[in-house]
Chains A and B, each alone.
Chain A
Amino acid sequence: MSDAACLEVQGITKRFGGLIANEDVSFTVNQGEILSIIGPNGAGKSTLFNCITGFYRPNAGRIFFRGKDITQYSAHKICKLGVARTFQVVQVISDMTVLENVMTGTYLRTYNRRDVREKAEEILRFTGLYEKRDTLGPDLTIADKKRLEVSMALGTQPTLLMLDEAMAGLTPVELREMMALIRKIRENGVTLIIVEHVMEAVMELSDRVVVINSGRKIVEGVPAEIVRNPEVIQAYLGDRYHA
């Protein structure tokens, strides 16, 4: 295991009854990089996410986070170790304001109420939601909700941030903003794994891409290679993508 490895996934298999959602998936995420996971709908990306973050127990395989075997850890413990995530369907706390939502995340590592508040405000400035800090969570637009979810995850001060379709449903302008935010997060030294169908974002952001299909990893490589891979085109991108 290299020093640079932030996360190492070894031979993960996850079954739901007879259905194999992940089969023997292995890959490594290096410290400070952005790794994208792409693949057809139902390929098992979210499942993989859930296995890594402790929401599912894989049937086989092991997961190491910064050298530590976290395969059997529960979700909240993994978060405490420094892995934060967002959900494919946005989740925010509906009876809290934006600020309070972020404070909830921030409480993970900070105890004093005032410090928590300051830190949360700082994060909101960073993510550009500061102006809306007193808005109730559900009153935000989708774009802002996604941004809030990222802010909440940042509140837990992760070293690895995992985003499940954080850019779905954004307008091109919003997409640009989100991409900028993700770059900024990376610049702060956070490693990122993103699952995304928005290829623009995948192409521009990722250092490396892992492609899975029917639960198995089919290829891994830099974005430019991936989009030219016939298997990927056939299974995922479709012919029109080049157009």
Chain B
Amino acid sequence: ADKVIKIGAVYPLTGNIASTGLDCRRGVELAVDIINGKYPDLNLPLAKDAGLPNLGGAKIEIVFADTKGEPRNGQAEAERLVTQEKVVAMIGAYQSSVTKTASQATERLKIPYVCSDSSSPALTERDLKYFFRVSPHDAIFVRDQFNFLRDLEKARNVKFHTIAALYENTEFGSNVGKQILKVAPEYGYRVVADISYAANATDVTSEVGRLIKASPDVLMHASYITDAILFTKTFKEMGFNPQGITTFAGYIEPGYLPAVKGDGNYFVIRSTFALDLAKRKPLVAKVNELFKKKYGIDMSENAARSFTAPFVLADAMNRAKTTEAEAVVKALLATDIPGDQVLYPWIGIKFDPQSHQNIYAQGTLVQIQDQNYVTVWPFDSAAAPVIWPFPPWKSRK
């Protein structure tokens, strides 16, 4: 029988954000298919061979575990996977708080952990030896948005003066909020409204009321999906019309557009992935085709993010020629995957030796145009020009 390398994956597969967890899981499963099978026309690490050639063609097997989105389960499941299921490496968690406890557990158990779906900057500020992050974090995303604004000012010869920060108050949103407040002055913008709110709010008219009162040039909004939907509706209802709105996370969840339809147009969203990248990156089209064949839907941002971690691990193990933790960590530190082998518009994958953050990771911005996500920034890789300023709600059909 073939040798099997077991990798543990913890995700919120039931509970409130199960839909996201299941989305991530699809990305991981497709990645494993590609690693284990032969896909000669895919320019991805290990796609061409079946399994890991340096380990005698060993196959990857993912052992999934459900966290229900609770940190204590992240820890317990990580421990269970390592001690009982004998996994040799770990991926996942999605929520940063769960990633925190799970990676803490693997650190104690001396097991490598590669995360490609949690965005709290703090995760890679802990100096953990076994923890690596492939994807960009919120601080990078925030800077991307400011860079976008600056580029826009230059390109269109306009000037923004005021911005408003609107963010939900769990760890994700407040992190983003913190970053916005920190970075805005560096770019010379005045923050005229700093509004944090409960993500499970039933009604957000008072928040929007405050925004209208502050009337910023640009709004930056960090949200989950429920509040993204609610705010979209309320912006429209109350006629909130800044020059533009740039957003994080919620507006790019797969459920968002089907829920709001045309009202979602023009929002600018940070992203690591967009299907229109296919124009520049044939890889994206090919992978999405496989994804669609397997699941019947297009690949989402979450799926695409989670997709990467198994490759990074498999690549490191393959180079290390062993699954032994110290060697894998060493190989991870030596990782250097070129940009054309990743699904995103990155320079590539290479970890900072100290923080273990992928130094090549960066975000892109997409805009919803005609109910499609279209890459609009960086301008040189844009699929279409950004529509800015947003047309006021009244003038839309």
A contacting B, Cβ–Cβ less than 8 Å: no
